[in-house]
Chains A and B, each alone.
Chain A
Amino acid sequence: MSLLRVEALSKEFGGVHAVQALQFEIPAQGVYSIIGPNGAGKTTLLNLLTGVYRPSAGRIWFDDKELTGRAPHHYAAAGVGRTFQNLQIFFNMSALENVMVGRYLHERCGLVAALLRFPSLARAERACRAEALQLLEFVGLAGYARAASDSMPYGALKRLEIARALAARPRLLLLDEPAAGLNPTETQEIVRLIERLAARGITTVLVEHNMKLVMGVSDHVLVLDYGRKLAEGSAESVRRDPKVIEAYLGSEAQAHA
């Protein structure tokens, strides 16, 4: 059973085909990685899969519900969460509040209850705060709970984004280059975090440059090149695919191989 299904998906930017006629299914279990050289269309694809971009053509189903053309918050409500390659932190809030925002879909947001601060809302707020703290702990940021997010180091912000996305309790979590710009130790922490996500039963889509990371944690790999599907399969089969080797290392490497 697939969780997310994409049919003939295309995105053009003024004549540039960033994503072309993509077709694939993301299974309901495990870690699904999307790799490809720079400019292959990976981030464009993530933006399409979360409603940030509208596709030029093609359709997207999540859990057998069509979401093509819907706004991002509909994707979120359906159970799709994501992080950003270029951080999108709410820098006007503390780390804890960033995660609490992530709980938005699961909170009662009635205006009157909020303005008059009904006791039920005050209780829900305490529960929300407690859950946000747990999530900060889960991603290893317990010490930053009260910190202003604009004073936090880059590596911590990467994990803060994951905690915020998890707060929405997504069924599918898309991580856009979670290890980009991190040192080897921090990258190892991210790898462990991804493994723990899988253990929680959250289907994870990983867009990454770091091949070692991808090959280590992925159950399934999709390779993009110039917006098209180049190869798809298990990490092992993709690694040996001559087309993939060519795209990554150039055709000479293939000649020597």
Chain B
Amino acid sequence: MPAALRTARTGGMLALAVVIALLPLALANNYFYDVAVLVGLNAIVCIGLNLLIGYAGQISLGHAGFFGLGAYGSAILTARYGWPPLASLAAATAGVALLAWLVGRPILRLRGHYLAMATLGLGVIIAIVISNEDQLTGGPDGMSVPPLALFGHALTGEKAWYWVVGALLLLAVWLALNLVESPGGRALRALHGSETAAEVVGIDSVRQKVMVFVLSAVFAAFAGGLTAYYSGFITPGRANFLHSIELVTMVVFGGLASTFGAVVGAAVLTTLPQLLAVLKDYEMVVFGAVMMLTMIFMPKGFVPTLTARFAPGERK
């Protein structure tokens, strides 16, 4: 195998592109396409969240809040104010970036459990605001969202969305891989390794943490906005604490500090509940069980564990 193909950036990207290109052969009907689109959208959120949790080592239990704000921001601007969908999506994402930056500066000085509690609080506040502002958001009943229009064409149908989301997923993976292999990305991993040592070589830890927090919030908000346009209907459930836990579970199961792990985690944990639809209200039990079993049997997560098994000693 040529050496270039064995690096994560080229080899992994190529493999993912092949999977996305060939998967439709196995997608028998629109329902399967629908699941695949949801996998892709969740994977984009998880790639961003993994930059924060997996690489920089900072927990967030409130990312569903950013997802929800992206979704509702896009939906409200389009449905209530008549903005073009792409402009709404961009504005909502930028708004979330600003919020994450404002909130990030004080709370990212906290560590460990304190940061977990602070992000949890943030997520809860966002979910409650979305639920209560029923004039704008439709409250607990949710609201319907007009379709995404691209250059005058409405993007509808699972198949069309599949290709758009597939391309965006590849883009998200590429961006994340690039960041990780850059001076700034190394600084993030250094913070995870030893914050004191990172500071001593000149890394402004708060600044770096805020940067990755904002970036991960942008991934979440963008995917949230797309999800709103894709589904055509959103409810506050997507912004609540349980959804934050689902996202963290995907990242942890797939593998911390593994971009492809985040994709695999999103794929498995988006598909699994569909297969176990009979469980209905017990769906969250699956996430709890997966989280516990991952911690016990493969604390490094699915992809890193497999990589270690099949390519021992292969580390850059």
Contacts and interface: CB of A to CB of B under 8 A. Distances in A.
Q: Which of B189, B204, B205 has the most CB of A within 10 A?
A: B204
B186 A117 contact: no
Contacts of A100: 183, 186
Interface string B170-188: 0000010011011111110
Interface of A: 50-52, 71-73, 75-77, 81-82, 84, 88-94, 96-97, 100-105, 107-111, 113-117, 121, 124-125, 128, 146, 148, 164-165, 167-168
Contacts of A104: 183, 186-187, 190, 201-203
Contacts of A113: 182
Contact of A72 (B199, B257, B316): B199
B178 A73 contact: no
A240 B205 CA distance: 45
Q: Which of A89, A104, A146 has the most CB of B within 10 A?
A: A104
Interface string B152-183: 00000000000000000000000100110111
Contacts of B196: 52, 72, 84, 88
Nearest to B314: A146
Instruction: Provide the main secondary structure of the chain B interface.
Output: helix
B200 A82 contact: yes
A27 to B, nearest CB: 23
Contact of A109 (B175, B183, B189, B315): B183
Q: Which of B181, B202, B211 has the most CB of A within 10 A?
A: B202
A130 to B, nearest CB: 15
Contacts of A165: 200-201
Interface in B194-227: 194, 196-205, 211, 215
A28 B95 CA distance: 50
A109 B185 CA distance: 9
A110 B183 CA distance: 9
B186 A101 contact: yes
Given A73-B205, A76-B201, A114-B182, 6 more contacts: A84-B197, A97-B316, A111-B211, A111-B215, A114-B183, A115-B179
Contacts of B183: 100, 103-104, 107-109, 114, 124-125, 128
